[in-house]
Amino acid sequence: MTRLLPLTDTAGGCRCADHPTGPSSEDPRMNTQAFPVVGMTCGHCAGAVTEELRALPGVEDVHVELVAGGVSTVTVTSVDGLDAGAVATALDEAGDYRLAPQ
């Protein structure tokens, strides 16, 4: 049996944001970096890259803006940031993906 709960007055605004469930973007330890990546052509590629990058120590979040066959942008949120060498190694582990020359 489903029990419905009464709604409360939200005239003062929603309070959900008062209880964050993940790292705060305002956390001074968190660092967000964008890396240009070549070699990704599909969602499977993006998933493989995401999985390898999330396995790196300190990584909290990975977002891939896929440009199939072009230069995709991979945004990584981590504690204290990542060096390009660690990212390049993770990309190589994920498949035939490379940091794009800048």
More confident residue, 3 or 32: 32
Q: Where are the alpha helices (DSSP H) in 2-81?
A: 43-54
1, burial (CB in 10 Å: exposed 0-12, middle 13-18, buried 19+): exposed
What per-residue confidence (pLDDT) applies to 31? 94
Q: Each residue of 14-24: pLDDT tens digit?
A: 444 444 444 44
pTM to 2 decimals?
0.72
Q: 24-71 pLDDT, tens per residue?
A: 455 667 899 999 999 999 999 999 999 999 999 999 999 999 999 999
pLDDT value at residue 20: 44
